[in-house]
Structure 1
């Protein structure tokens, strides 16, 4: 089977491409990565460089514009339309013959139509909730905190809806994402849930949490979308004599005022770290917390499980597809400070429970399989259509 992928940047698509190549199915992967990052991916994933086709032009222009002081989110939305049109047409212009074309949402309309005209299947792959659902829930959340948010560009939303209608099938990583599509009127039979894999060669226990304090870890972009302010409020109110919150990842600029108001006592902002260092933070923390408002299936959850770290997460992270409540972690109510505090209290007071959850998480990810299982599941779906 000849499979072509298109993706904006790395996401989960290069892990899939690696496995598809080893299975003999990868025909080509298109990306907006610059050539030097494409070279790095080819080396790291052991994919022949001539199977990776990249075009960084519009992505590069957009990134440069984002550094201009007067640049706004509204302007970025308009430029995103130009980039999407350019990229989608470019993929179509260079699309090789294939049996299946799988385009990440936003990138695939023109190539998808062309693939179908040639008798191939067009798979729309969406890593997070339906674009209109995401726009609505995030608008409501930003309004709650009185933070201005630019509405999602109408053309971009309509473009993804056209992809939904045009596609042979839609692949999503969690039941939470599928439910958002069904809520928007998409036929549930057109949607397949395929949870992401985790690289057990990259993520594994490397140490133990300290015994003299309770360490809470957050990994990802620290933003409204990720429930950052609920986490800070909960940590501030959490009564523990030796507590520490470690934030690994970029901090969204629109949170700066609230972070000052809430306070950062015992909060350590590490910033972005190399991928191979994340497992150390996960292995040496008592719990990973992810109180997201909107997400598809946060990869850091399976990575933490592979490191033996229990998880506190909302259903909006896709957690219910990945693990069981009170077995590998705790699934808590979204947008609730009290729910986070209660979870902190429960895990901080019960070391036996934490140990059992950590062990259960390790066993669960082994059974779920890694990226090869994810690729095999995808191929089985493709063969079915």
Structure 2
């Protein structure tokens, strides 16, 4: 099979998808603004990298100077999609990302008769819009053009691939056909993330990695940590809610992926009470390192329970409020104290959490669909 895979952002999970599918003997081309040398550092073969860095460079400068505002993102999506639709080579399968790849999908279907898949990393855009409108911040709000383009883009692919059951349910909520949805939980690099012993100084009760913002439920986290008087560590960027200037709150700027294990080692429990996620990639990282997880119903965390020796290590909030969050933090801390200072290994023997397993599921899906197409013909 010849597979074209396109990412509208940088590396994302799309590079991991390209790397894993190539291992099955497919001819894979990964189109993104990631320079080839950097892509190779994440295991992608040189011949698989089709970098469009110089085309995207003016937009990256624009984003650097003025931020990724609404009209700038819309212009970027439109131009890169148009460029790729003519630049990409013939393929049997085209995998693109929402909300960028619409023309490219249409062209791959019309010109190459390719199987087309749209990767949707977050919930249905109307659900996403509803969540963003319900919170205090406007930094993550979407333009009308963005929403319109995203909705239109759902009409063209043969399938939409999503990272969690939660995302699938949001598509069903808005009438999308269930037989066109492929659920494949994202993987984790098990070379970087593996069972850890609680160690280092200081030891933090709870950890959150990623954006510090309302969408991630950080307003609830602040209240819960204050009420429980426990120690919190945040690793990532501060977006739209102030980080408390208190002795039990510690912030560290964003770190390279390979360094995150150092912070997992220092922490008892991982928090992800998001109002909306696709499948938060830091959740499987934390679980692979042995930390109990406290998450919301919309974080994708529930899907990961089958990867554990006991589902008790994932505590999902029944109600989205501070009281429920505090109760789950207490329970998860009790689990952590039960683990003691030995190596924390909560994964079962089945390899379902790695990117290798993710690739196996994706390859099986592609083979099944292609074979069904051949039978119809």
Corresponding residue of 2:361: 377
Shift of residue 329 of structure 1? 2.0
- The one of 51, 54, 57 equivalent to 2:51 is 54
Deviation digits for residues 154-184 of structure 1 (CA, Å, limit 9, x no counterpart): 2222222222111100100101000111112
CA distance in 2, matches of 1:111, 1:323: 36
Shift of residue 59 of structure 1? 4.6
Corresponding residue of 2:18: 17
Q: Does residue 1:141 correspond to 2:145, yes or no?
A: no
CA distance in 1, matches of 2:172, 2:4: 27
Between 1:165-174 and 1:151-160, the stretch displaced more is 151-160
Corresponding residue of 2:116: 122
CA distance in 2, matches of 1:289, 1:29: 33
- The one of 282, 292, 307 equivalent to 2:289 is 307
Corresponding residue of 2:98: 105
Between 1:169-178 and 1:98-107, the stretch displaced more is 98-107
Corresponding residue of 2:316: 331
CA distance in 2, matches of 1:172, 1:43: 26
Q: Does residue 1:132 correspond to 2:126, yes or no?
A: yes
Aligned length: 363
TM alignment of 1:142-157, pairs within 5 A: 142=136, 147-149=137-139, 151-157=141-147
Shift of residue 57 of structure 1? 5.1
Corresponding residue of 1:345: 330
Taking structure 1 as reference, are residues 59 and 334 closer, same or farther at Cα in structure 2, changes over 3 Å only? Answer: farther
Corresponding residue of 1:223: 213
Q: TM-score, normalised by structure 1?
A: 0.87
Give the ranges of 4+ consecutive aligned residues of structure 1 lying more than 4 Å apart after TM superposition. 209-214, 350-356
Q: Aligned Cα RMSD in Å?
A: 2.5
Q: Secondary structure at the match of 1:40?
A: helix
Q: Does residue 1:255 correspond to 2:267, yes or no?
A: no
Corresponding residue of 2:33: 32
Shift of residue 351 of structure 1? 4.5
CA distance in 2, matches of 1:359, 1:295: 26
Unaligned runs of at least 5 residues, structure 2: 370-377
